[in-house]
């Protein structure tokens, strides 16, 4: 009911806070509760946005580090593979 009042408030031209206050302590409590829920929700939305941006940034850093690692390891691995094939060829020749 309260959410419906808050949704209709701008179109109907009345103040939902005034209506809730007419209900007395329960209305004031509900108004404060709605305010707290709104603040907490917006805080969570901001935290989620920050964490998503942080995750995207860290993923980009990880990709860059992996690419650098691959660029450094591939030549060494290729040389090691070539050396091992030469060793195996020499071993076959001895037999």
Query: 20-37, pLDDT tens digit by residue?
Result: 778 788 888 888 999 999
**Is 9's pLDDT higher than 60?**
no
User: Is residue 73, in this structure, part of any structural domain at all?
Assistant: no
User: Is residue 95, in this structure, part of any structural domain at all?
Assistant: no
User: Is residue 37, in this structure, part of any structural domain at all?
Assistant: yes
Question: Whole domain around residue 50: which residue ranges?
Answer: 2-68
User: Is residue 80, in this structure, part of any structural domain at all?
Assistant: no
Whole-number CA gyration radius for the chain:
33
**More confident call, 18 vs 81:** 81
- From CA 55, how far away is CA 62, in angstroms rounded? 10
**Reported confidence tier of residue 1, pLDDT bands at 50, 70, 90:** very low
Q: How many domains does the chain have?
A: 1
Predicted local confidence at residue 12, as pLDDT: 58
Q: What pTM value is reported for the model?
A: 0.54
User: Is residue 88, in this structure, part of any structural domain at all?
Assistant: no
Length of the chain as a residue count:
95
User: Is residue 90, in this structure, part of any structural domain at all?
Assistant: no
User: Is residue 18, in this structure, part of any structural domain at all?
Assistant: yes
């Amino acid at each position: 009911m309260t959410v419906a009042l808050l949704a209709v408030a701008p179109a109907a031209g009345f103040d939902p806070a005034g209506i809730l206050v007419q209900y007395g302590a329960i209305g004031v409590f509900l108004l404060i509760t709605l305010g707290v829920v709104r603040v907490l929700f917006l805080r969570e939305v901001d935290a989620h946005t920050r964490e998503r941006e942080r995750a995207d940034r860290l993923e980009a850093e990880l990709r860059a580090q992996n690419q650098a690692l691959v660029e450094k390891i591939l030549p060494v691995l290729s040389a090691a593979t070539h050396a091992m094939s030469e060793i195996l060829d020499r071993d076959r020749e001895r037999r």
